Structure 1
Amino acid sequence: MIGTMHESHDVCALLLAGGQGRRMGGQDKGLLNLGRYPLVVHARERIRPQVTEILLSANRNHDLYRGWGFSVIADEEEYLGTGPLAGLYAGLAHATSSLVLTLPCDTPFFPDTLLHRLFQALSTRDAEIVFPVSGGHSHQAFLLCRTHLKDSLKKYLDSGQHQVLGWVQSHR
């Protein structure tokens, strides 16, 4: 069925848990429990049937995440502390799929149709990057992009820029 959790794409889901948790008193958001499981486990289970690969971008607590069965990647040393684009760069470097979908670890209840809708937009618009917009607000934390953009992202980060929207707007 189209738009259901039964549909799968050749996409790497990249769960972003690399932040410093400043707004949460320094806590690792991905490991905060919702019910009996950490937030990141809820997000993983929701996206798992829709993708072929799942990576977790984290810069601390690697052993705890691995204990929950995650393949953990860290930001490159030169980009540590520069935000979600550093995690995306690491994901683009490690993904075996031609597309990467970023998902924040602390938003486990994204729509079941998110990947399907982003995939459709990417395909029908001949785009390189897509993200959802609702109510006039863009949500670049949920980003679907082509892995060939890795070199472009490296140049952007090396120039000292770290704004997600700034990099996104430089592509189709």
Structure 2
Amino acid sequence: MSAPLGVILAGGQATRMGGGDKGLLALGDGVILDHVIARFAPQVGALALNANGDPARFARFGLPVLADPLPGYPGPLVGVLAGLDWAAGQGAEAIVSVAADTPFFPCDLVPRLQLAAEGMAHPLVLAATPRGVAATRSMSRGGHVRHPTFGLWPVALRHDLRAALEGGLRKVVLWTEKQGGREALFDETDAFFNVNTPEDLALAQRRAGA
């Protein structure tokens, strides 16, 4: 399987942080996005950023900035769709998505998602961790916690995804289950720790400093 393209999802509204771009919050010697890019770029063929509003605020990263292709902030799936449309224009077969507010995800995320997709006609895999890591996230039938912003997505299903979103679908796992999606289990219990609150940011800063 060839290296997929990478899409960093930064299109959310960050309401629990008072708005703005969580990826631009200071962390270590840079901002959260610096950490995300450093982990992600070696794993993919090329990178783009899904974000809305003025793209100039991300200019220093030198990445294509992809706006949501549908209005109303309908959730992370519309950012995935933006990435799939971009990847189709690049002639790619798949993308991997990560969240812009999750600076410590695994450095082998992509190969492990690809391994879980072996044998699939259209590779569609979400990252998952053991039960109890993040109780607010989506539980799978196997009792794992799915992380729907971290996934491997096939360009071939982008038109189906667009139709589902236009029909009102918002929950990622409803669509992935319908398509026969799989999970890749990551045992690292805090691998997908994300910054949602000022307290989370303080914890991330301590972790980055360590």
- Counterpart residue number, 2:153: 145
Alignment identity in percent? 34
CA distance in 1, matches of 2:66, 2:122: 27
Q: The residue matched to 1:131 in structure 2 has which SS?
A: strand
Larger Cα Rg: Structure 1 or Structure 2? Answer: 2
Gaps of 5+ in 2: 131-143, 181-210
The aligned residue for residue 207 of structure 2 is none
Q: Deviations over 1:19-42 (max 9, x none)?
A: 111111112111111112121121
Instruction: Look up the match of 1:122.
Output: 117
The 1:146/1:57 distance shift into structure 2, 3 A limit, reads same
Specify which of 12, 18, 29 is matched with residue 22 of structure 2.
29
Give the alignment's TM-score, normalised by structure 1. Answer: 0.89
1:133 and 2:128 correspond: yes
CA contact (8 A) 1:10 1:98 kept: no
Q: Normalising to structure 2: TM-score of the pair?
A: 0.73
Tell me the number of residue pairs that the alignment of Structure 1 and Structure 2 aligns. Answer: 164
Cα shift readout 1:65-84 (whole Å, capped 9, x = no counterpart): 122212111001x3331111
- Cα offsets for 1:78-137 (capped at 9, x unmatched): 333111111111110011221110100011211112111100111245553101221121
User: 1: CA distance between counterparts of 2:26 and 2:3?
Assistant: 30
- Is residue 2:95 matched to residue 1:105? no
Deviations 1:27-68 (A, max 9, x none): 211111111212112111111111111010001341021222
Q: Distance in 2 between matches of 1:9 and 1:35?
A: 33
Structure 1 residue runs of 5 or longer lacking an equivalent are 1-7
Q: Please tell me whether the aligned partners of residues 122 and 156 of structure 2 are also in contact (alpha carbons under 8 angstroms).
A: no
Counterpart Cα distance in 2 of 1:37 and 1:25: 20
Deviates more, 1:82-91 or 1:116-125: 116-125
Q: CA RMSD in A?
A: 1.6
Cα distance between partner residues in 2 of 1:30 and 1:61: 15
Query: How far apart, CA to CA, are the structure 2 residues paired with 1:86 and 1:79?
Result: 9
CA distance in 1, matches of 2:119, 2:33: 31
How far, CA to CA, are the matches of 1:42 and 1:61 in structure 2?
22
CA distance in 2, matches of 1:13, 1:56: 8
Are 2:43 and 2:108, in contact at CA under 8 Å, matched by a contact in 1? no
Residue of structure 1 equivalent to 2:52: 59
* SS of residue matched to 1:123: coil
SS at match of 2:118: helix
